[in-house]
Amino acid sequence: MPDYDYSLVDAAIIDAQSNTQRVLREVLARLGMKRAETYGSVRDAADMAAAATPDLILLDIDGEEAEALRLIRRLRNEPDTRNPYACIVATTWQPTPLLVMRVTNAGADDLLVKPVSPKQVQERLAALIESRKKFVVTADYTGPDRRKSPREGAQVPLLDAPNTLRLKATNRWAHINARQLMAEANHFVNEQKLLRISVQVAFLIEFAAIGLTARPPERMAVEHVARVPAFLDDLLRRLDDLGEPGPAESVAKSLKMMAERLRLHAESGAVAAEELESARALARDLMRAVDTARPLDAMMAEVAAAVTGYRTRLEQMAQAKAEAAKAEAAKAEAARVAVATPAANGDAAKEAVGS
């Protein structure tokens, strides 16, 4: 294993247990890390993102799971984060499949199981330095690429995110322009967000269309169209950050008002077909305004494929749930019969004795 120099690395340890804080700090110190701030709760570390985001964050996920996951998402996505590409390693005593999925979907790099050993930490840091995953940007996620197989549909470009841990540990920090590196990465993320949000909004409206025309409108359709305004708020903020509002801004504002109107009408039980078609048209206009280089037909094909795939997954989940319920019912019936059979046999034996 290469001999890394951690003396310039800034680290943060967020853990409610003081003993775990002490152990982790000692482990980092043994590796040569001189600056490791400790926080007793996620709330205590809330200002860390805007103040000076560290190169490495060790974050306990057990005590405040919801708050910890929100912090990870904030570090990755909020505009006030100084270093949204910091290496984030969550720590836990119980790595359940559900917890692993939640941590991964929030944007963490890795999950470390307690109790930790110096060797474990050293190996994880080496992996983050030598083979960190590239970042992917979607409408609602920024972080290490989560896919284990090639992505379907349009190929989403990946970002070799600035890795300040690697730059400092390999003594390259003094030879690069960190500010320019961050600015270029942030510009890439903003542009990708605009593209992916425009497609996501079109997907949400297209998926909701059938359910919104039902009488009464389907609840899932209403929930999906209700998500549109928040995505458009993010898109408008990013347009402003890039200083490129243009036609996309007016289309996004009109579409936001239309989506809010669709939700209100759906909740009252009536969605006019012409309103729905207007929303679809605005969604197409937004994709066209955001991505002038890509043919609209290709973007619409991506949306249609996403809707079809999503509906298929929902049907498969519903079928699996029904089959599981059926199997559980059969199991309960078998148990009931098993309990009843000995009793019936006992009654028959008593009758035979009595005769």
The two structure tokens encoding residue 314 = 């929902």
CB 81 within 8 A of CB 45: no
Q: What is the pTM of this model?
A: 0.85
Nearest residue to 158 (alpha-carbon basis) of 169, 147, 166? 147
Q: Tens-digit pLDDT profile for the chain (355 aa)?
A: 678 999 999 999 999 999 999 999 999 999 999 999 999 999 888 887 777 789 999 999 998 899 999 999 999 998 888 899 999 999 999 999 999 999 999 999 999 999 999 999 999 999 999 999 999 999 999 999 987 665 555 578 999 999 999 999 999 999 999 999 999 999 999 999 999 999 999 999 999 999 998 889 999 999 999 999 999 999 999 998 777 668 999 999 999 999 999 999 998 887 889 999 999 999 999 999 999 999 999 999 999 999 999 999 999 999 998 998 898 888 888 888 888 776 555 555 555 555 4
10 burial via Cβ count (<10 Å: 0-12, 13-18, 19+): buried
For 77, phi and psi rounded to 5 degrees?
-120, -25
Which of 271-284 are b and which e, b meaning 16 or more Cβ less than 10 Å from the residue's Cβ?
Answer: beeeebebbbebbb
Q: How do residues 45-101 score in pLDDT, each as one tens digit?
A: 888 777 778 999 999 999 889 999 999 999 999 888 889 999 999 999 999 999 999
Predicted local confidence at residue 351, as pLDDT: 57
The alpha-helical segments, DSSP class H, found in the chain are 18-30, 48-52, 65-77, 97-106, 118-130, 164-169, 178-212, 219-226, 228-242, 246-267, 273-290, 296-354
Q: How do residues 304-324 score in pLDDT, each as one tens digit?
A: 999 999 999 999 999 998 998
Question: What's the CA gap between 284 and 198, in Å, rounded?
Answer: 9
The two structure tokens encoding residue 298 = 């290709």
Predicted local confidence at residue 152, as pLDDT: 54
146 alpha-carbon distance from chain centroid: 9
